[in-house]
């Protein structure tokens, strides 16, 4: 079967967050849309990313609070254990409801869903796995990315983040290789759920791109929770540690050999899903890493072909992909002109406790504004930690510029930082100053009040 260009106004390749957002918004404007997705709707975020990760984070948070409850006098087990299979039933039910919601919305919007991979035939035509050709003058690429597995001896024995969501128990001892978002998040939740966790980080700190002081405090919080941090360790190989091959050791580039681990998880980055698209047939340019090159309008170098999400070099965040796709469709079909404002995008790492930021770090601000930068900090123990007499500490930080002390960076590490940051991100986008914060009456006793009380 072959459908001519008049059959569709838009073909969307990829049914993840960005692809779905683009398809729905285009359909709202009256476009006839075909969506190609060979796997589960929702892509990485819904199936092996944000959603199941946050579910596991919540389970870990509950486990931690149960331990604190025993310290505070509640009659609960000293070492509460999670029944992983039981919890996963709830997690997967939640995700199944999201899938069902997508299907209902797609049907209601009249979007044709094709359960197939796609590859380009030319700049206006894609081919499905069964040979069907779909044509449109506009095509949106939103195929996302996948975890990168290092090409080292024994690397195939390690897991990646996708594999983690197939686990049905917390391994007794886990090594996590990496120091970014995924490594930090999985280390915190696994330690809280009963594993003994070692982090192997190639560099000298966690979370490059986040404020150095907050990353240092998070590392100390992790040490206090029992996580072993191994900085300056570049893993060169995995080796058998037992005769039955059930445990592995890490050999680092300097020759050092680790203790045996029941599981090794690589969190060493992600790569774009661009290989199977045969982009060269359409003339679409990619960068050296395989990302589809786009401009500020999310247009590729080929007229009528666009891309959003992790397939591009843009920030690999679900809300960024969604916002980019919606604005793109508003411009293509709704007469709008607004572009995605890539400045001051808030982001949170669901560590234990969470760390979040919006705007410039202190280092970035000083590179731009020099001596006009003013920094304010609040380090404290949150009330629950103080009541339970545990050493976990929070650190909040404001980066301000100029005589008026305009806030250009907000950095939060601590309980509920993820929830607190959203509102303050709006304020930063609106040009709030330090005096504006100080003129706001604090809500007491909360962690959030520290943001408006800094001196």
Catalytic positions, written as ranges? 444
Which CB contacts under 8 angstroms, 24+ apart, belong to 55-60? 55/87, 55/90, 55/91, 55/94, 56/91, 56/189, 56/193, 57/185, 57/188, 57/189, 57/350, 57/352, 59/87, 59/189, 59/193, 60/188, 60/189, 60/190, 60/192, 60/193, 60/352
Name the residue with tokens 């590729």.
300
Q: Which helix (H) or strand (E) holds 148?
A: none
Q: Is the Cβ–Cβ distance between 196 and 172 less than 8 Å?
A: yes
Q: Which residues pair with 330 in a beta bridge?
A: none
Taking residue 414's Cβ as centre, other Cβ atoms within 10 Å add up to: 29
Fill in the DSSP letter of residue 398: E
CA distance 426 to 417: 15
Longest dimension (CA), the chain: 71
Query: Between the CA of residue 261 and those of 196, 313, 415, what are the distances in Å?
Result: 9, 35, 30
- Provide the CA 385 distance to its chain's centre, in angstroms: 27
C-alpha to C-alpha distance for 299 and 352, rounded to whole angstroms: 38
Q: Are 187 and 164 in contact (CB under 8 A)?
A: no
Kindly write down the DSSP assignment for every residue of 431-450, as one continuous string. Answer: T-BHHHHHTSPPPSS-STHH
């Amino acid at each position: 079967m072959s459908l001519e260009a008049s059959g569709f106004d838009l073909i969307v390749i990829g049914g993840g967050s960005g692809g779905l957002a683009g398809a729905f918004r285009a359909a709202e404007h009256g476009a006839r849309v075909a969506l190609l997705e060979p796997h589960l709707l929702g892509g990485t975020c819904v199936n092996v990313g944000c959603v199941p990760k946050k579910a596991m984070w919540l389970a870990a948070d509950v486990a931690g609070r149960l331990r604190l409850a025993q310290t505070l006098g509640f009659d609960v087990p000293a070492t509460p254990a999670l029944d992983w299979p039981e919890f996963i039933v709830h997690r997967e039910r939640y995700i199944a409801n999201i899938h069902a919601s997508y299907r209902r919305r797609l049907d209601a919007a009249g979007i044709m869903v094709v359960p197939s991979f796609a590859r380009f035939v030319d700049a206006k035509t894609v081919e499905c796995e069964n040979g069907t050709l779909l044509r449109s003058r506009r095509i949106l690429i939103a195929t996302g990315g996948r975890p990168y597995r290092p090409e080292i001896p024994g690397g195939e024995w390690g897991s990646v983040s996708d594999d983690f969501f197939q686990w049905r128990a917390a391994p007794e001892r886990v090594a996590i290789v990496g120091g970014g978002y995924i490594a930090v998040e999985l280390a915190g939740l696994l330690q809280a759920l009963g594993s003994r966790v070692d982090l192997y980080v190639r560099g000298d700190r966690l979370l490059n791109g986040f404020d150095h002081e907050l990353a240092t405090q998070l590392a100390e919080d992790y040490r206090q929770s029992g996580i072993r941090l191994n900085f300056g360790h570049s893993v060169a190989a995995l080796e058998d540690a037992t005769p039955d091959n059930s445990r592995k050791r890490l050999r680092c580039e300097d020759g050092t050999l680790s203790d045996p681990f029941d599981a090794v998880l690589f969190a060493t980055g992600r790569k774009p899903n661009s290989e199977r698209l045969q982009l060269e047939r359409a003339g679409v340019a990619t960068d050296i890493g395989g990302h589809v090159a786009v401009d500020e309008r999310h247009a590729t170098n080929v007229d009528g072909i666009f891309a959003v999400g992790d397939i591009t070099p843009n920030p690999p965040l679900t809300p960024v992909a969604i916002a980019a796709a919606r604005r793109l469709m508003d411009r293509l079909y709704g007469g709008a002109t607004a572009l995605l404002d890539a400045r001051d995008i808030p982001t949170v790492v669901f560590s234990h406790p969470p760390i979040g930021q919006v705007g410039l770090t202190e280092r970035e601000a000083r590179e731009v504004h020099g001596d006009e930068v003013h920094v304010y900090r609040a380090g404290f123990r949150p009330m629950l930690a103080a009541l339970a007499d545990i050493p976990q500490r929070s650190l909040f930080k404001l980066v301000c510029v100029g005589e008026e002390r305009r806030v250009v960076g907000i950095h939060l590490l601590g309980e509920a930082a993820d929830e607190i940051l959203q509102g303050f991100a709006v304020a930063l986008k609106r040009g709030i100053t330090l005096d504006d914060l100080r003129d706001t009456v604090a809500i007491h006793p909360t962690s959030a009040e520290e943001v408006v009380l800094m001196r």
